Structure 1
Amino acid sequence: MRTHNKRAGLLKGTAALALMGVLAAAVALPALAADKVTKDVAPVTAQALSEHIRILASDEFQGRKPGTAGEDKAIAYIQDQFKKIGLKPAVDGSYLQNVPLTEIVSKADGPMVITGPKAAPLSLEYFSDMIVWTRQRTPHVQVKDNDMVFVGYGITAPEFGWDDYAGVDVRGKTVVILVNDPGYATGDPALFGGGAMTWYGRWVYKFEEAARHGATAAIIVHETRAAGYPWGVVANGGSIPKLSLMPADGGLKTRSAVEGWMQLDQAKAVFQAAGLDFNTLKDSAARRGFKAVPLPLKMSVGITPTERDVISHNVIGTIPGAKHPDEMVLVGAHWDHLGIGPAINGDTIYHGAMDNASGVAGLIELAKRYTKGPKPDRTLLFIAYTAEEQGLLGSEYYAQHPLFAPNKTVAGFNMDMLSSVGLTRDIVLVGGRKSDLEDRLKAWTDAHMMALNQEPFPERGYYYRSDHFNLAKIGIPVIYAHSGIDSVANGAEWGKTKEDEFTRLHYHQPSDKWSPDLDLSGGAMEVNMIYDLSRPLAFGTDWPKWYDKAEFKAARDKSMGK
């Protein structure tokens, strides 16, 4: 997932031509000897990216869902490309790292029914009003007349002095949770990340925390702005088969039996049925000292799941280092999308052209550019991850089973949804103020007369929604940056309109398709930017560092023996 920023442009006239020239020249950052810059090959082009996207997003690839025929075609294509450009297999003579997953197909047996003494029963219909699933290995889930508790934002964060579960026992109960975190809700810089979402605001965390406290069911209230995506994204994603890295206990002790979301209007009706005002309780949940509120309601829902075990695959190629082969620079992009799902406008194939056939195209072409030049001093690892759309599972598995230890991994770069709206005057950094990779990026944008902007919607938590996050969790400095919206040709307002249009009409929908009209010149610039940023590390001895206040610095220090 990506986001763009709105920023008035600084680049006009002949400067715009200079921007296009960045696609043909590398930045001579201090750590890279000038002779190695000048002995470079042609940069990545929009035409090359487009051809990969056309193939990977075609009907033949069936939406590239892990564990399907679409996966077989996708990983075969990526392996073939890696072999053709000269990457070495990275996994014991193979390009494939096996990732064991369990696929669970679950749908509610009927509506979610909520009863209480003060109002008539509420019946929430599957898909339109609520979406639920189970990630437990079990033949059937039946929650009957389950006590309900409103736990605010569902956060236990000692470092912030915050515990929404303090003083309440939710074992065996249904918890109702707000999306995002109190910092976003209040804009108070003293709370969490202020307006920027922290890990505590992500739905993955909220389900995990509810399970840690023993909740039988965890239901998040959907709000489009706070979540960062509309209900259609939640409903479509929640209704398709789900893959997970299944824990040894089958999730029976480590996961809630029911996970899901409900629409905001339905949540308000639920609170009204309890004799409470949703907005009043929402406001109180964002203030220190909030205490969970038992609801005088009972929730019932049934789910009949079917399951199968799946071996999916990360596809990994490498260019071994000439001087320091035990030290590695990593570049990744996820190859998967949603596969076949509910029909929208008659189409059931979720093609995932931009999300993320574009990133895989960039990965292949970046690797090709490296293979045409001098051999790097350090090893380069190119990873096409599986199951990002299922919860960053491929990168999570790699982080648990890395080919290079974290203290031998110099840095990481991520490509997720390259730009398809042409060249821009700005670059957006997702999850800023984390490592000195940001300083290197700033040097690059300054050299190319471009603006470097922080993400415009930090409350959406994009940093925690793509594969680089799992590398950061084990301490590896990583960066995710992409084109902004200030179009060289059409301006910022046009770019913002295009971004909003894609999110509303195409994101996680079948209409995310390849078209010859895609303007991938901005995407090519992104790939060449990553080349410029990664190359000094691949040919140097420098080690990027987390900033002192970054939440991942402790993991890096530990892996480095500090």
Structure 2
Amino acid sequence: MLLGTALTLVPAGWALAQHAAITAEDLTEHVKVLSADAFEGRKPGTAGEQKTLDYITAQFRALGLEPAVGDSYLQRVPMVEFAGVSRSPLTVKGPDGAKSYDFVTRMVTVSRRPEPEQALTDSEVVFVGYGIVAPEYGWNDYAGLDVRGKTVVVLVNDPGFATQDPALFNGNAMTWYGRWPYKYEEAERQGAAGVLIVHETKAAGYPWTVVVNSWSVPKLDLVPPDGGKSRPVIQGWVQQDVAREMFSLAGQDFDALAKSAAQRGFKPVPLKLTASAAVTNKVRTFDSYNVVAKLTGSKRPDEVVLVGGHWDHLGRGPAMDGDDIYNGAMDNASGIAGLIEMAEAYVKGKRPERTIAFIAYTAEEQGLLGSEYYAMNPVFPPSRTVAGFNLDGLNPFGPMRDVVVTGAGKSELEDLLARWAADNGKVVKPEPFPERGGYYRSDHFPLAKIGIPTLSAGAGMDSVAHGEAWGRAQAEEFTRLRYHTPKDEWSPDMDLTGAVDDVRMVYDMSRSLTDGTGWPAWYKGAEFRAIRETSLKEGR
């Protein structure tokens, strides 16, 4: 098995016939259908899911792709839904009084335990800084602390972002330890009864409205092996000014403690406060589905290249200007449109030598649940999976001069991208917002965790027609005004000619792997390299 050294790129212009199958008109049609109000925001477990599954499977079937899950295109993903029927205020008591904070305006709370009634009552509150246990960085915010039965308050992101010290964690670029799912998982491992993340827009990478829109609606989860009984009773978010008030009630200066939490040697601080909150849930279990199709390779059918993207969005939620459907046109009807168009390009070309698989994941918006389930129950063995590519949020602003890798510095797939960019008149640029932790926020991450080199890359911001300042303004406006809101909907103003470049780029790179013999390797020092090497050794 050759690692890394045998990677070659298809020559520029080689796939012109297949490129012709990928058009802005077809991408637009798929986006319009998938983000239509009739699909109700494509939330798993709703009528919108069934319409979405029917559409994607019909497209794959019409193209002649083979079902990959036995004789079916559908991989069952067992899920549980927690719908908050009622939520009490968050009440914090200290020696000098008490404060109560209302749901949505000041905080959000949820419970992901299976029983309908969940209450946190007079739970001791401890500030644990960033809530990180990272031996490789010599960092443990829980050192010497027993938080069983207690409520922990944690900061979003990680110390590297707070200090901008490139030698601390990953500097400005968020690590996995900075992401909210990690905070909740670590609090659970520590036995905390409650966990509250302090929201700050710059550190989180999105405004408070995104937190509200994502967490005030019914939440989904994979069915947990222990029924969820090990989870915190209450988990949630508080606005930064709420944290300041809470700390002041305890006689503490929030800003000073937050600053100290980013320094080595930080010790957790008991706040001499208690927290109480209650959630009433309506709990149901149901099956959602990943859609998996393949085109079997002509020479090495047991070696597989994956291309994926998530089909889901948020469904219905809090209304904005009278609209409560979160259509998810860019996020991620565009990626599924690209997946279908790329599949068409493969079908119209010569059969690949390795198998190419196309996966539309469920429940990415709920915490990468569909791809996490796939990683735990892979249709194709990881040791026989050559590499993967992720399509999430294609470019709706027209052609760009640059290409950006989400979470650069990981694997030799980036070398392949650099060669593609050079051949196609593009420039590879650094990720513009590494502090947002994009690498850990989409479906390539669960595959990486089981060792599969997976690339998420797409158009940058340097608009061919309007320049870089204009492109940056469009991206920032989308995040501020449309991301995870009902305003992420199809519009005639969307220019998917740039998205065509994105899809053709991934087609060319994946085709280089399906028709080649090389196995891209993780770079030395990448956190997933050892997992991959073990997987490949066991696979032999």
State the TM-score, normalized to the length of structure 1: 0.93
- 1:282 pairs with 2:261: no
The counterpart of 1:130, out of the listed 98, 104, 107, is 107
CA–CA distance in 1 between the matches of 2:449 and 2:100? 40
Q: Which amino acid aligns with 2:272?
A: P
Give the deviation of 1:246 after TM superposition.
Answer: 2.0
CA–CA distance in 2 between the matches of 1:210 and 1:522? 42
What are structure 2's unaligned runs of at least 5 residues? 1-6
Q: Which amino acid aligns with 1:203?
A: W
Give the deviation of 1:449 after TM superposition.
Answer: 2.2
Partner of 2:345: 369
Partner of 2:90: 112
Q: Which amino acid aligns with 1:212?
A: R
- 1:476-511 Cα shifts (integer Å, max 9, x gaps): 001000101111111111111111111111110111
The counterpart of 1:145, out of the listed 108, 115, 122, is 122
Q: What do you get for the CA RMSD once the two structures are aligned?
A: 1.3
- 1:512-562 Cα shifts (integer Å, max 9, x gaps): 111122100111110000011111101111100000110010110110118
Residues 128, 52 of structure 1: alpha-carbon distance in 2 compared, 3 angstrom cutoff:
same
CA–CA distance in 2 between the matches of 1:301 and 1:237? 19
Contact 1:196/1:460 (8 A) holds in 2? yes
Partner of 1:63: 41
Residues 35, 163 of structure 1: alpha-carbon distance in 2 compared, 3 angstrom cutoff:
closer
CA–CA distance in 1 between the matches of 2:528 and 2:349? 33
- 1:384 pairs with 2:360: yes
Contact 1:216/1:258 (8 A) holds in 2? yes
**Secondary structure at 1:305 match in 2:** strand
**Secondary structure at 1:389 match in 2:** helix
Partner of 2:219: 242
Partner of 1:410: 386
Q: Which amino acid aligns with 1:181?
A: D
Partner of 2:335: 359
**Secondary structure at 2:466 match in 1:** coil
- 1:546 pairs with 2:514: no
Give the deviation of 1:194 after TM superposition.
Answer: 1.2
Contact 1:325/1:379 (8 A) holds in 2? yes
Contact 2:294/2:358 (8 A) holds in 1? yes
Residues 490, 32 of structure 1: alpha-carbon distance in 2 compared, 3 angstrom cutoff:
closer
**Secondary structure at 2:124 match in 1:** strand
- 1:458 pairs with 2:431: no
Partner of 1:13: none
Residues 87, 272 of structure 1: alpha-carbon distance in 2 compared, 3 angstrom cutoff:
same
Give the deviation of 1:66 after TM superposition.
Answer: 0.2
Give the deviation of 1:248 after TM superposition.
Answer: 2.1
Q: Which amino acid aligns with 1:46?
A: A
CA–CA distance in 2 between the matches of 1:236 and 1:477? 32
Q: Which amino acid aligns with 2:211?
A: V
Residues 133, 38 of structure 1: alpha-carbon distance in 2 compared, 3 angstrom cutoff:
closer
**Secondary structure at 2:330 match in 1:** helix
The counterpart of 2:190, out of the listed 193, 207, 213, is 213
Residues 364, 258 of structure 1: alpha-carbon distance in 2 compared, 3 angstrom cutoff:
same
Partner of 1:8: none
Partner of 1:228: 205
Contact 1:49/1:361 (8 A) holds in 2? yes
Contact 1:41/1:373 (8 A) holds in 2? no
- 1:369-424 Cα shifts (integer Å, max 9, x gaps): 00001000000000000000000000001111111111100000000000000001
Partner of 2:75: 97
Q: Which amino acid aligns with 1:225?
A: K
CA–CA distance in 2 between the matches of 1:543 and 1:467? 21
CA–CA distance in 2 between the matches of 1:35 and 1:189? 41
Aligned length: 532
**Secondary structure at 1:168 match in 2:** coil
CA–CA distance in 1 between the matches of 2:193 and 2:487? 37
Partner of 2:325: 349
**Secondary structure at 1:560 match in 2:** helix
Contact 2:15/2:508 (8 A) holds in 1? no
Partner of 2:133: 156
Partner of 2:490: 514
Give the deviation of 1:244 after TM superposition.
Answer: 0.4
- 1:319-370 Cα shifts (integer Å, max 9, x gaps): 0011000000000010000001111110011100010000000000000000
Contact 1:43/1:528 (8 A) holds in 2? no
- 1:144-169 Cα shifts (integer Å, max 9, x gaps): 11100000000001111100000111
Give the deviation of 1:197 after TM superposition.
Answer: 0.6
- Determine what percentage of the aligned residue pairs are the same residue: 56
Partner of 1:268: 244
Q: Which amino acid aligns with 1:312?
A: S
- 1:179 pairs with 2:159: no
What are structure 1's unaligned runs of at least 5 residues? 1-28
Residues 34, 206 of structure 1: alpha-carbon distance in 2 compared, 3 angstrom cutoff:
closer
Give the deviation of 1:50 after TM superposition.
Answer: 0.2
State the TM-score, normalized to the length of structure 2: 0.97
**Secondary structure at 1:331 match in 2:** strand
- 1:440-498 Cα shifts (integer Å, max 9, x gaps): 10111112222101211111100000000000000000100010111111111111111
Contact 1:107/1:133 (8 A) holds in 2? no
Contact 2:399/2:463 (8 A) holds in 1? yes
Q: Which amino acid aligns with 1:376?
A: P
Q: Which amino acid aligns with 1:536?
A: S
Residues 521, 33 of structure 1: alpha-carbon distance in 2 compared, 3 angstrom cutoff:
closer
Residues 535, 301 of structure 1: alpha-carbon distance in 2 compared, 3 angstrom cutoff:
same
**Secondary structure at 1:195 match in 2:** coil
